[in-house]
Chain A
Amino acid sequence: AQRVTQPEKLLSVFKGAPVELKCNYSYSGSPELFWYVQYSRQRLQLLLRHISRESIKGFTADLNKGETSFHLKKPFAQEEDSAMYYCALRPYSGGYQKVTFGTGTKLQVIP
């Protein structure tokens, strides 16, 4: 069975400071990793997925299979980044496999 761990429930940083939201996973096979974000009064939505290897809103995340991590990073935090962030994992195999979400980290950017 797969598991996703987000060790921090709340992360507070000052505007302009670097951000790193931690995500660790356990899964014996090949995983597909995602970050979802929920801004205040908005729907939960996909931020990025590791197979796309893209930067969204200045955020990047690299899959580190050795450390089984998929940390979300941004060099300079902005106030509009304040939101709830969820890391999620799906087994990368044929057919549909359910997605497992972490418990989420609330990012608070202090002006």
Chain B
Amino acid sequence: DAGVIQSPRHEVTEMGQEVTLRCKPISGHDYLFWYRQTMMRGLELLIYFNNNVPIDDSGMPEDRFSAKMPNASFSTLKIQPSEPRDSAVYFCASSPSGGYKNIQYFGAGTRLSVL
């Protein structure tokens, strides 16, 4: 398995534009997480899904952020409109059920720069 796959790896956009980040979890994993990493706040959980259903979105900063998981192999995180303070590295992670359900497997991240 190639692990969690995120695209794009880097995204540079202008303020006000829509940004869509994509994630393909590890096949068979029931949980999917979106995190944001910044120097000041470290790693913050934005939202997580279980079996494609959003369970906890309390970390989503504001209505400009939305996430979907239309099927077990794909999720998107959308920012519309984007702002310079959204610049960060966004990670997707997935986790299996069962005995190892608490171990998270991370993607390589998407580095977002909003100018």
List the interface of chain A (C-beta within 8 A of B): 6, 32, 34, 36, 43-46, 49, 86, 90, 96, 98-104
Number of interface residues, chain B, beta carbon within 8 A: 24
Q: In the complex the two chains form, is B42's CB within 8 Å of A104's CB?
A: yes
Q: In the complex the two chains form, is A96's CB within 8 Å of B50's CB?
A: yes
B92 → A minimal CB distance (Å): 11
Q: Contacts A43-B106, A44-B91, A44-B106: A96 and B101 contacting too (C-beta < 8 A)?
A: yes
List the interface of chain B (C-beta within 8 A of A): 3-4, 31, 35, 41-45, 48, 50, 55-56, 91, 93, 101-109
Q: In the complex the two chains form, is A99's CB within 8 Å of B41's CB?
A: no
Q: In the complex the two chains form, is A46's CB within 8 Å of B91's CB?
A: no
Of A36, A96, A100, which one neighbours B45 at CB under 8 angstroms? A100
Q: In the complex the two chains form, is B45's CB within 8 Å of A98's CB?
A: yes
- Give every chain A residue within 8 A of B43 (Cβ-Cβ): 44, 86, 101, 103-104
* Further contacts, 8 of them, CB under 8 A, given A43-B109, A49-B102: A34-B103, A43-B4, A99-B102, A99-B104, A101-B42, A101-B45, A104-B42, A104-B43
